[in-house]
Amino acid sequence: MTKPALKGGRVLNIDDSDFHRLKSYMQNNFGLNLEKKRILIEGRLSNTVTLAGFDNFTDYLDDVFSDKSGVKIDSLISRLTTNYTYFMREEAHYRFMTQTALPEWVKKIKDRDLRTWSAGCSSGEEPYTIAMMLDEFFGLSKKGWDTTILATDISPKVLAAAKEGIYPRDHLERLPPGWKDRYFMAADHGRWKIKPFLAKEVIFSQFNLMGSFHMFRRKFHIIFCRNVMIYFKDKTKAELAAKFYEVLEPGGYLFIGLSETLSGVNSNFVQMSPSIYKKQ
């Protein structure tokens, strides 16, 4: 495979030793499986290495791993895991949520506290889309409900962008007619910003999915964790699926990416349709 040319510099090669220690560090601390990502590592990190003042991965990784602030490892994670996303991505999930999951929960929830978690929320398009869907679903009756969404990611960089809530026009192209004007206001350079009334519906927080879930005092009704487990080995997927199962209410739904599956990971979930699972 031909390696991509980098603007302003060459692609650096990562030797076997550095590749192994980077893989091991990411697997042990964050569950990320970089086994088949060597070309991706070289392509995405070469400019980062050069801009940091190094001409090889050995010195760069020494610098990153010795940084006690965690800023440099956060930047590295962002470079390796951040992918292009947009509003209404994998739209079938939102249809299922509004046509099946929400009608079920509206009948069951007595205290009108709907708990939704966007795990691995990246730059915010997913949780804000969920917030729009909830606003449309509940309409005027929404005032009587707490529909606040928890949105977490491991990367402070993407969380900062999510909290800012400003997006290029092409990220909004799949929104239904009228939604752009309803939920966004014009920003600079042709970009669009989430309106304050919608922004307050989402709480962003840094969270490592490999850590303990004991912090959650109440269980969730709906969890989105899409296009995250593509980075994990089957053992890590199984452990994460078990933790999601534990923090879901009985009858709760887990949405994963359309290219992902829990098949073969000894999950207790019942599959409702491709990439949609339910805790019975």
DSSP letters spanning the chain: -PPPPBTTBPPPPPPHHHHHHHHHHHHHHH----TT-HHHHHHHHHHHHHHTT-SSHHHHHHHHHT-TTSHHHHHHHHHHH-----TTTTHHHHHHIIIIIHHHHHHH-SS-B--EEEET-TTTHHHHHHHHHHHHHHGGGGGGSB--EEEEES-HHHHHHHHHTEE-GGGGTTSPTTHHHHHEEE-GGG-EEE-HHHHTTEEEEE--TTS--TT-SS-EEEEEE-SSGGGS-HHHHHHHHHHHHHHEEEEEEEEE-TT---TTTT--PEEEETTEEE--
Sketch out the chain's domains with CATH numbers: 16-81 (1.10.155.10), 91-278 (3.40.50.150)
What is the predicted pLDDT for the residue at 33? 85
pTM (2 d.p.):
0.85
What is the predicted pLDDT for the residue at 253? 98
What is the predicted pLDDT for the residue at 1? 36
Q: At 37, is the pLDDT very low, low, confident or very high (cuts 50, 70, 90)? A: confident
Pick from 79-83, 242-246, 254-258: least confident: 79-83
What is the predicted pLDDT for the residue at 8? 47
What is the predicted pLDDT for the residue at 124? 97
Using the predicted structure, report yes or no on whether residue 173 has a pLDDT greater than 60.
yes
pLDDT in tens, 175-233: 999 999 999 999 999 999 999 999 999 999 999 999 999 989 999 999 999 999 888 88
Span 156-173, average pLDDT = 95
pLDDT in tens, 74-109: 888 888 876 678 999 999 999 999 999 999 999 999
Span 48-66, average pLDDT = 93
What is the predicted pLDDT for the residue at 53? 92
Work out the mean pLDDT of the chain and round it to a whole number: 92
Using the predicted structure, report yes or no on whether residue 6 has a pLDDT greater than 70.
no
What is the predicted pLDDT for the residue at 2? 36
Using the predicted structure, report yes or no on whether residue 41 has a pLDDT greater than 80.
yes
What is the predicted pLDDT for the residue at 9? 56
What is the predicted pLDDT for the residue at 260? 92
Using the predicted structure, report yes or no on whether residue 153 has a pLDDT greater than 50.
yes
